[in-house]
Amino acid sequence: METISDMLEGAAQYEPDRVAVMFEERQLTYKELNQEINKLTNGLIKLGIKRGDFVMTQIPNSVEFIIIHYAIIRAGATVIPLNVMYRPHEIKYIGENSGACAIIADAALWEANVSVKKDLPALQHVIIANGPADKGTIALDKVFTGIDTAPEVTYGIDDIVSVIYTSGTTGRPKGATQTHRSILSNVMGCCTRNKFTREDRFVCGLPMYNNFAISVVMMSAFYMGAAVVVVDRFDARKVLDTIRKYKGTYFAGTPTMFSYFLHEFKEGHDDVSSLRVTNSGGAHCPGEVIRQIEKTFGVTHLEGYGQTEGCGFTTLNPYIGVRKENTSGPPLSNCLIKIVDDDDNEVPVGQTGEIVLKGDCFSIHGYLNRPDVNAEVYRNGWFHSGDIGSVDKHGYLAVADRKQDLIITGGQNIYPAEIEEVLYTHAKVRMAAVIGIPDTDKGELAKAYIVLKEGQEATEKEIIDYVRSRIAKFKAPRLVEFAKSLPQGPTGKLLKRKLREMVKNQNDA
């Protein structure tokens, strides 16, 4: 198996003049991109950065993000891309957990986080991008050398090339390790399932520090020798304009992002006819939303399921073949999946249980410096996802919900995703999220938070009756709250934990 560095070197050798990256009015061919990466790689090595070192980055979406990310890997070190919204206490935790020896940060972001330097004695180098360096820092443009050939560096296929810290929904963030083997295994499966070609143009509106953007979009594009079109941040109007301008053929995002697209799309103005395929992940995409996506944009939409630990999608509906609504498709190649009960016994086909997975897309190192968590999560050679689902006789996965999202009302199990699926078929509903709230008699009650489409009005009774007419009455929400917006993460994923925190704070008041 080749390495990530080999993948880009090969594209530069065989397709030197093919465009690799487009960003606003700037573009680089594969030859130019590879040369820029080599110049920075040689500079990092000159600073003393070597195989086994950990380097944090805090860079917004840009061409520089790509060059920096690849240069660190090519130097033999491990890149740790940080959320651009992280502040000193978050960076301190990751710096301490990883023992990072360097950080490459955007000047404006570092200005807000400079206080973390005194708390990280292992941090030997602070490299500043997009601005001047001050005392104790180095300007990124001074690190670049004039040497545009690749240095001689020895790699192992199971070397840790990146560590991506999870959002920490169940505690402090955990550093999911990724290797050459795990990333490329996932990328090959993703490219095959989507039927990507070198003629595709991958539009990246996801934050690039996120695994979804790095593996599913950027790495897949470079694996195919295709072009990445970078958008500086997600904005539905900006992404639609980018697809039209650059003739984008592929976009991946969360279901919430696609809801924004549908709301923003202007027929007759937004020419997205170049789009061929779209993918959604990060949460279940309701069937009604998928039907609207395919009808509005004229694309094939594939819903998938995955995790940072598996380097991207681990299941995905096929571009060619049977696509099943309300499923995340069958596993990608080199990935195995099964459903188990609380004692880790595999359950019969169609029965619900915890989703567990294994395969080459999972790093052999697990979480960085967390042997306690690894022993719990990677039991018996299987990654325990904490998600609930079932697999049908054809191997297609249907994700019911997170274990922590399960609502138990009077002893009955209610999966919020099932209610949300119904809510999204309501003509007035734009966004919906369902959580369990404490109840003295029933234990928990289902409550729906709803954002209505522009100009629409609805009542709590109307919504509850609508759901009751379509699924078992005990599953319908007992309470409905209408809101102007719902809390979201940087990728647009709805953050139910924020809703639960809000309910807790109200109860404690």
Give the predicted TM-score (pTM) of the model. 0.86
Q: Are 228 and 21 in contact (CB under 8 A)?
A: yes
Q: Are strands 479-482 and 443-452 parallel, antiparallel or unpaired?
A: parallel
**Structural domain 30-155, CATH architecture:** 3-Layer(aba) Sandwich (3.40)
How far is residue 199 from each of residues 247, 250, 450, measured CA to CA in Å?
A: 11, 11, 40
Please give the C-alpha separations between residue 368 and each of 17, 171, 185, 337, 371, in angstroms, as whole numbers.
39, 15, 20, 23, 8
Q: Give the tokens for residue 201.
A: 């143009």
Looking at the DSSP bridge assignments, the partners of residue 313 are: 306
Beta strands 335-340; 312-316: pairing state:
unpaired
Query: What's the pLDDT score for residue 1?
Result: 63
pLDDT given at position 509? 64
Residue intervals of the chain classified under CATH 3.40.50.12780 are 181-402
The CATH class for the domain spanning 181-402 reads: alpha beta
Spatial separation of the C-alpha atoms in residues 447 and 476, rounded to whole Å = 9
What token pair was written down for 266?
């202007």
Please identify which residue in the block is written with the tokens 């006789």: 393
Helix-, strand-, coil-residue percentages of the chain, each rounded to 5: 35, 25, 40
Q: What is the full per-residue pLDDT of the chain (509 aa) written as tens digits? A: 689 999 999 999 999 999 999 999 999 999 999 999 999 999 999 999 999 999 999 999 999 999 999 999 999 999 999 989 888 988 999 999 999 999 999 999 999 999 999 999 999 999 999 999 988 999 999 999 999 999 999 999 999 999 999 864 445 789 999 999 999 999 999 999 999 999 999 999 999 999 999 999 999 999 999 999 999 999 999 999 999 999 999 999 988 899 899 999 999 899 999 999 999 998 788 888 999 999 999 999 999 999 999 999 999 999 999 999 999 999 999 899 999 998 999 999 999 999 999 999 999 999 999 999 999 999 999 999 989 999 999 999 999 877 778 888 876 778 888 899 899 999 999 999 999 998 877 778 999 999 999 999 999 999 999 999 988 788 899 999 999 999 988 777 888 888 988 888 887 76
pLDDT at 470: 86
Number of separate helices (H) and strands (E) present in the chain: 16, 24
**What residues contact 455, with CB distance under 8 A and at least 6 apart?**
none
Separation CA 269–CA 489 (nearest Å): 29
Give the C-alpha separation, 305 to 397, whole Å. 8
Residues 6 or more apart whose Cβ sits within 8 Å of residue 375: none
Distance of CA 56 to the CA centre of its chain: 18
Residue 98 CA to residue 122 CA, distance in Å, equals: 10
Provide CB contacts within 8 A for 118, sequence distance 6+: none
**Contact residues for 3 (Cβ-Cβ < 8 A; gap 6+):** 155, 157, 180, 184
> Which residue in 284, 265, 263, 285 sits closest to 275, CA to CA?
265
Q: For residues 178 and 235, give the distance between their C-alpha atoms in angstroms, rounded to a whole number.
A: 29
- Pick from 160, 214, 163: which is nearest to 3 by CA? 160
Q: Among candidates 389, 398, 405, 386, which has minimal Cα distance to 447?
A: 405
Query: Where, residue-wise, is CATH 3.40.50.980 in the chain?
Result: 30-155
Q: Report the pLDDT value the prediction gives residue 416, as an integer from 0 to 100.
A: 87
Query: Which residues share a beta bridge with 175?
Result: 165
The domain over range 406-508 is classified in CATH as 3.30.300.30:
yes
Quick one: pLDDT at residue 490? 78
Q: For position 265, what pLDDT does the model report? A: 95
Q: In whole angstroms, how far apart are CA 267 and each of 37, 264, 351? A: 41, 10, 43
CA 334/CA 336 separation, integer angstroms? 7
Q: Give the model confidence (pLDDT) of 3-53 as tens digits.
A: 999 999 999 999 999 999 999 999 999 999 999 999 999 999 999 999 999
Q: Identify which of 416, 430, 419 has the alpha carbon closest to the alpha carbon of residue 484.
A: 430
